[in-house]
Structure formats: structure tokens, C-alpha cells
A and B are shown apart, each in its own frame.
Chain A
């Protein structure tokens, strides 16, 4: 642990500011709370929002897990875990069940989370309407009026043009029946895990300076139409390492003839299944 920095890098006043913003976020599920995002020693776009949320929550007894693309060993996950081991000296783990705090980019673990766990998401663009309306002043008004017609029209146009809703990740959700919210760029496969989740879910967007939350046991509805219900990705393949047919699969090109293999994106889930399968 590097003693020339405060525990978990940020000073205590900044942590208090973050915690107050997080309390507000929890009180208004799905609402984007502007906050005084600090400049972190990792680049914007690489998890500075999630890192600030994690820094504000970490205590000496916490056990931290960091995943990127579902994996504990991707370089950015390693780097963030290394950062907190260095500036906070907390215990880290790769096992979902052992973690009290999980920071993630682009996935929700396959293993169901519990009430005593917090999931922290790294968010590149907190505004689900941004690609439809670039002006911040305008999108804030649309949220205030709960006017989400733009998004419904976009989804409808997908169906008219392609026959399907052509959004496969960062699929918009309505939180607690009120705020249209970005689930962060997780595949829509993970969206159902957010509905009535026992674990608190916190979202940090450092560059865009917004925080938001989905409290435990909150309704999270993926937008859809009665005749075009929400569906998640399915694979014809099983994981070639653990044989799972329920998990989200990564496709890996294994030779220069384009041969593919499919493996679990959640490395802890996959390793656990393989360990269990061994006699």
C-alpha cells in the first residue's frame, strides 16, 4: 500500500461528496446525478467513474473483484485491481461468491449476486438518449417529462427496417417504472439479471460526471413491444471448456482458417464449473 496517498486514493471530503451523490442516486432509481468527478490517475473512458464509486465505498474489510468483459484477467481489470491493492491494500479475489464489492465493465457475473454484495458498473455514456439527441439541456428536459417517445420510435424503426430490434448491448431499460436508463454496455443477455436484483447496483460515469443507481429489488424493464417481446442472445454452441449452455459466450478465432471456438465470457463461472466437473 502506498502511504503517500489517502486510503483508496481519494481524500475523505471527496469520498463524502461521492457518497452523498450515491445516496441521492439510490433515492431516485435510474436518475443521473451530476457529481464533481475528479481526475483520476487512470484515463477517462477506462473506468474512472467506477473507480471513484469503488474508492468511495471501499473499507479495509472489503474483498474486491474487478472484471472486464466478464474476465478477471483482462489487462484493464488487472490494472484497476492492482491500483486498489496499491492505494487501499484491500483483499482482492477472482471468485464472485467471495467478493463484497465487484467492479465491472460490460458484464454482470453469471453467478447470482446476494444482498451483501455491491456491483459497480463503469459507464462510458450514461445518457440512453444521447445518440438520438446530442444536447444535454434537451435530454434533461426529456427525462424530467418522462418523454421517451424518441427511444420507442427508434426501436420501432429497427423493427420496420430489419424485422428485429437492432440493439444488442447497452439495451435501454426503464427503472422503477420512471427513468429511462442505460444499463452500461452490457449485452442485453445480462439485462434480466438487473430486475429485482438482491444486490445494489451503482453506475459511475467519470468523464460525463454522472452517477446513478438501481437499488436492490427494483423493477428493471427492458423496453419492448407487445408483439415484439424482449429477447436475449442464444447460442447453438456450448462452452468448449465447461460445457455450459446457459452462459454468455465469447467467440475465439483459433487458427488462420477461421476456425472458431466458443467459451464462457465469465472466467470465474467457467473455472468453477470445470473444477466441479473434476472427480
Chain B
């Protein structure tokens, strides 16, 4: 005899134990230390911080360990923790021109003031699995240190007035998307904030689609730079700015063609991407999608998914998407039962109609 399902509470408790056991694995193998994750899985840490909207390597490492390496789960853990943190204030805008650059490349000029700097990149590794235990490498120092201030490549074009100029301070104060709901149409600052938190895979696919004819805007990687930037705040009670530390950032400025329109002459336009830590794929994808989303402002025909801001911004967030896709595994008995009764009613209705039609078809047969 069936008894109404009971025992959800116990089932959850057992499930949590199984999860803890599976996460830890063989206890004969030492547990990962957070320092190991921070240092040896630093790109994963960067992604979790970026999409988790919280710059804290230690917490990101903790989240990755607790999530057993599931990056989206780690991002979710960090976001949920972030909600509970008080706000002390806002920083001054970060000045990426004064970045202490460790990597900087441009696809638009063969050489640039300050030079092309490859830095630590996977780009030229040839992707052969390294079966031997990794040896400690000593880095041969460069002949001369990198210049302290590297001009941005796009500023060189700006001097010639070939690229759109965006005056500092000309854009409105951004709203905080973690405190205010996203409303449409969203301005560029809000869009960039959404993209910065957006899922790397989703943005990569969207960005790729713009290169394959869905909102083509002929991009060039004007400049990609990675390095440390000072974080500066101006506490109200002090009235002057103080530096509270520095963070690693990757910035990408795309240069895109523009045929002119909306009273603007043909010139190069900009797409912008910024990611915490080393996040070049994310920053580049973001820059391409940012540019595609500027279609209305630049009076371009809007037809592609990457140009549709409601489409892109409403579906970019991995925590929202993952939660809603996976909520389908929750019970839906009640709605399913409602659909079952409806289909049974419609089936009965059809059967009745067929039966009503039966004598007619017999009559039709007799006539022929």
C-alpha cells in the first residue's frame, strides 16, 4: 500500500553526507590547500572572482574547493556570500592607463610605444601534454624593465581623431546591478556591468556569432593589457584619496569599423572589455558583445541575437541561468497532473467528435 511520500528531511541529510564524502575523495590523499588553489589554479580563481563579482582570491579558492571544481557552483557560492557583505563605499574609477603592465599586445600596429609584451600566456605553448613532472623554471630577466607608464594604443588614434572620442565623465553614474533591478533599455554602463558578471561561455558564443556574420563589425584587437592597477578611495571623513591596494585586471579595447550614421562621420568605434585577474578570453568576448549592443546608438540595423540587449543581458548570468534550467528537476507533479487532465479531456473530446462523424462517412461511402 502506498503511503504519501515522507522523509525529505532525512534524504537531504544523507545526500549532504554523500556529497561531503565524494568531494573529499580518498582521505589517504592530502586535501588541497587554499594556497595551492590560489597559486596553481589562478586562472580558475580569476574567473570565479570575476563572475562572482568579488575580488578575494582566498574566498574564491575556498569556493572552488567546496564546489569540487565546478566553476559555476563556486561562482554561486561567492555571490551568495557577497550578498551579506556591508558596503563601505565606492572606489574612484580605476585608471588602467597607469597599469603596471605584465602583458600587452596590439593586433593593429607592428610596434607601439612601450612595445608588445607577451608576458605569461598560453598562446604559444603548442598544447602538448607535459607528462614529466613540472620542473621549477627560472625566469631570465628582461634587459630593461618595462616602462612604468604605457600609453594606450587607442589614444594614439584618438590624437588623429580617427576613433570616436568618449570624454571622461561624459557617461552617467552607473547603477549597481546587485542592488537595483536591470531595466530596459539599459545604458552602456549598465550593460557593461551585466557583461562583466556574465558567463564566459555565453559571452564567448555571442562574441563568436558577431564574427560569423550575425552583427559583423570588423573588429581589430586594438589593445589587450594585463597587470596591476591601484585601487583608490576617497573616504568622506578624510576628503582626500588614499590607495587601499592593487588588483590584477585584463583590459581589452576593440577597434571596430563604422560606416557613419546618426550624424556621425565614418570613423573607428570602440568595444570595451574588462576582467578581474587574467581573463583575456572573457575581456575580448565582452568587448565584441559591448560593440554589438551599441547598434541603436550608432544607428546600425539590429537583427542579430548579439545586438538584442534584452536577449543578451537577460540570459548572460550563469547563476540565474543555471538555477532556472536546473529548477526543472524540482517536483512539478501538480502542474503535470493539470496537463494530464487537460490532455485526457481533449482526447475524450476528439473521440466524441470522431464518433459523431462516423455515420456521415458511412453515408459518404454509400454514395460512391
Most interface-central of B82, B331, B341, B349 (chain A CB within 10 A): B331
> Known contacts A46-B323, A74-B331, A250-B334: does B4 contact A263 (CB below 8 Å)?
yes
> Known contacts A11-B84, A76-B330, A137-B310: does B323 contact A207 (CB below 8 Å)?
yes
> Known contacts A37-B181, A82-B9, A209-B181: does B326 contact A45 (CB below 8 Å)?
yes
Report chain B residues within 8 Å CB of A270: 4
Nearest opposing residue in chain A for B73, CB measure? A43
Q: Say yes or no for B2: interface residue by CB 8 A criterion.
A: yes
> Known contacts A251-B337, A261-B2, A270-B4: does B12 contact A78 (CB below 8 Å)?
yes
From 226 to 279 in chain A, residues with beta carbon under 8 angstroms from any chain B beta carbon are: 233, 235, 240-241, 248-252, 254, 261, 263, 265, 267, 270
From 321 to 344 in chain B, residues with beta carbon under 8 angstroms from any chain A beta carbon are: 322-327, 330-335, 337-342
Q: Say yes or no for A34: interface residue by CB 8 A criterion.
A: yes
Min Cβ gap A45→B in Å is: 3
Q: Say yes or no for B7: interface residue by CB 8 A criterion.
A: yes
From 26 to 48 in chain A, residues with beta carbon under 8 angstroms from any chain B beta carbon are: 34-41, 43-46, 48
- Residues B182 and A169 in contact, CB atoms below 8 Å apart: no
User: What is the bound-complex CA distance between A137 and B327, given in angstroms?
Assistant: 26
The binding surface of chain A is classed by DSSP as loop
- Residues B330 and A248 in contact, CB atoms below 8 Å apart: no
Report chain A residues within 8 Å CB of B314: 136
> Known contacts A41-B80, A43-B76, A45-B326: does B335 contact A265 (CB below 8 Å)?
no
- Residues B334 and A106 in contact, CB atoms below 8 Å apart: yes
Q: Say yes or no for A220: interface residue by CB 8 A criterion.
A: no
Report chain A residues within 8 Å CB of B185: 137
Partner of A11, one of B86, B184, B325, B327: B86
Q: Say yes or no for B284: interface residue by CB 8 A criterion.
A: no
- Residues A162 and B333 in contact, CB atoms below 8 Å apart: no
User: What is the bound-complex CA distance between A12 and B221, given in angstroms?
Assistant: 46
Report chain A residues within 8 Å CB of B340: 251
Q: Say yes or no for B140: interface residue by CB 8 A criterion.
A: no
Nearest opposing residue in chain A for B183, CB measure? A34
Count residues on chain A whose CB falls below 8 Å from chain B CBs.
68
The binding surface of chain B is classed by DSSP as helix
- Residues A233 and B341 in contact, CB atoms below 8 Å apart: yes
> Known contacts A44-B323, A45-B327, A124-B324: does B179 contact A265 (CB below 8 Å)?
no
Nearest opposing residue in chain A for B176, CB measure? A36
Q: Say yes or no for A111: interface residue by CB 8 A criterion.
A: no
Beyond the given pairs A5-B84, A106-B332, A124-B324, 20 more chain A to chain B contacts, judged by CB atoms under 8 angstroms and listed by A's residue number, are: A9-B84, A35-B181, A36-B180, A45-B325, A46-B330, A70-B334, A79-B12, A106-B334, A137-B184, A163-B349, A164-B349, A168-B342, A169-B339, A185-B334, A185-B335, A187-B335, A187-B337, A233-B341, A250-B334, A250-B337
